[in-house]
């Protein structure tokens, strides 16, 4: 996981301001898109003249150095958050209102005492990484989905736990992880929420303080056997307020339903993969016009290339042109 931090940081802070905003009504969606554009402008110096400073900061985050929160790069991001704090809070609350409470029962899932005891270890690296990533990620976090930036640290640990402690093969992990997860949100009190993420391998739960984006008290349940009822959790996806959200809802309902087929089939891996890929392609072809329309809408959000800035980069020869 440590080796992946660099990619996560560069993508999350310097690129993803233009990602689709899926969390709001039309009015709030416009507000979220505008705020993300302002984030992009705010971080522009670190893509250009201050790129070396950002690189140095990334190296410190990779080493899990606590004082990265005192580094100028983080202070620059935090100053933006402080300036727009009430707007962040409003957008986070609006997004959370879309999600349903977590189910009371998780059939076939068992708590993992080993994770709980290991997480309490003061020197547990994953604990420090989770906490640090959530702190530095506050700047870009406008929705529940954005908390996956920090939660990725826990997901990496859990997958290794399943392989090492439960004897799952990486092939089996890919089967159980390929078709998404469902998120849930329960209000604890004030601005403290309990977030639950469920996939067909495990359930992850943690508390999220939407005032500062700190996540605490993670718990993990691991799927230990038995087949869930057909259609389990198919109808508990987040509320959709816009056309894009409705399409994502339909897509994610389809992807989640694929697990029923994956769980019931007894064919070998090659044939199973072919069956599932066929199902996915059927969905794509039946919604091809919607994909094209939504992709064109997304591409239209990107600015034109800065020709003067682009000339500063060398024009490398494409080796395939000489084959």
List, in sequence order, every residue forming a beta bridge with 268; answer none if it has no partner.
none
Higher pLDDT, 261 or 208: 208
pLDDT of residue 194: 97
pLDDT at res. 9: 66
Residue 299 has pLDDT above 90, yes or no: no
> How far is the C-alpha of 262 from the C-alpha of 112, rounded, in Å?
25
Q: pLDDT confidence of 320, banded at 50, 70, 90?
A: very low
- Is the model more confident about 195 or about 115? 195
Q: Determine whether 206 is exposed, middle or buried from the number of CB atoms within 10 Å of its CB (0-12, 13-18, 19+).
A: buried
DSSP for 132-190?
HHHHHGGGG--SGGGGHHHHHHHHHHHHHHHHHHS---HHHHHHHHTT--EEEEEEEET
Which element (helix H / strand E) includes 38? helix 26-43
- Could you tell me which residue, 167 or 269, shows the higher pLDDT? 167
Q: Residue 12: name the closest of 31, 52, 40, 53 by CA.
A: 40
Average pLDDT, the chain: 82
pLDDT band at residue 23 under the 50/70/90 scheme = very low
User: Residue 203 phi/psi, 5° resolution?
Assistant: -125, 135
pLDDT at site 29 = 57
pLDDT value of position 323: 43
pLDDT of residue 244: 83
Q: Where are the alpha helices (DSSP H) in 178-312?
A: 243-264, 269-286, 288-299, 307-310
Structure tokens at 319: 């080796």
Which tens digit of pLDDT belongs to each residue from 152-195? 888 888 888 888 888 888 877 877 777 889 999 999 999 999 99
Pairing of strands 202-209, 192-198: antiparallel
For residue 250, with 0-12 CB atoms within 10 Å meaning exposed, 13-18 middle and 19 or more buried, which class applies?
middle
Determine the Cα–Cα distance for residues 237 and 194; give it in Å rounded to an integer.
17
Q: What is the mean pLDDT of residues 289-299?
A: 88
Domain edges within the chain: 2-264
Could you give the CA distance from residue 123 to residue 140 in angstroms, rounded to a whole number?
27
The contacts found for 97-101 with CB under 8 angstroms, 24 or more apart, are: 97/239, 98/23, 98/238, 98/239, 98/240, 98/241, 99/144, 99/183, 99/184, 99/185, 99/238, 99/239, 100/184, 100/185, 100/236, 100/238, 101/184, 101/185, 101/186
pTM of the complete model? 0.83
Cβ burial, residue 223 (10 Å; 0-12/13-18/19+): buried
User: What separation in angstroms does the CA of 165 have from each of 112, 115, 187, 198, 200?
Assistant: 11, 11, 33, 20, 17
**pLDDT, tens only, 121-163:** 766 788 888 888 888 889 999 999 999 888 888 888 888 888 8
DSSP bridge partners of 111: 221
> CA–CA separation, 69 vs 55, rounded Å?
15
């Amino acid at each position: 996981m440590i080796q992946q931090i660099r990619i996560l940081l560069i993508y999350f802070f310097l690129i993803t301001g233009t990602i689709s905003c899926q969390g709001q009504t039309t009015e709030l969606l416009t507000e979220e898109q505008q705020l993300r554009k302002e984030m992009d402008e705010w971080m522009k110096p670190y893509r250009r003249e201050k790129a070396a400073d950002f690189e140095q900061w990334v190296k410190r985050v990779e080493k899990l150095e606590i004082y990265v929160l005192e580094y100028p790069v983080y202070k620059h991001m935090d100053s933006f958050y402080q300036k727009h704090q009430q707007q962040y809070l409003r957008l986070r609350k609006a997004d959370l209102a879309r999600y349903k409470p977590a189910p009371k029962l998780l059939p076939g899932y068992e708590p993992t005492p080993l994770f709980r005891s290991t997480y309490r270890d003061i020197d547990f690296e994953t604990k420090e990484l989770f906490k640090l990533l959530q702190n530095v990620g506050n700047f870009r976090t406008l929705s529940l989905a954005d908390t996956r930036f920090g939660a990725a640290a826990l997901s990496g640990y859990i997958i290794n736990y399943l392989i090492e402690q439960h004897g799952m093969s990486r092939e089996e992990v890919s089967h159980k992880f390929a078709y998404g997860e469902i998120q849930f949100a329960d209000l604890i009190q004030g601005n403290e929420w309990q977030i639950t993420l469920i996939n067909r391998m495990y359930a992850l739960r943690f508390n999220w303080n939407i005032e500062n984006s700190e996540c605490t008290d993670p718990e993990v349940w691991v799927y230990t056997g038995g087949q869930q009822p057909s259609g389990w959790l198919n109808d508990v996806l987040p509320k959709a307020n816009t056309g894009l959200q409705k399409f994502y809802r339909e897509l994610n309902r389809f992807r989640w339903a694929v697990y029923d087929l994956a769980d019931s089939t007894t064919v070998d891996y090659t044939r199973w993969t072919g069956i599932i890929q066929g199902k996915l392609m059927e969905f794509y072809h039946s919604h091809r016009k919607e994909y094209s329309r939504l992709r064109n809408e997304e591409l239209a959000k990107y600015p034109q290339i800065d020709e003067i800035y682009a000339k500063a980069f060398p024009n490398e020869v494409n080796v395939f042109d000489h084959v």
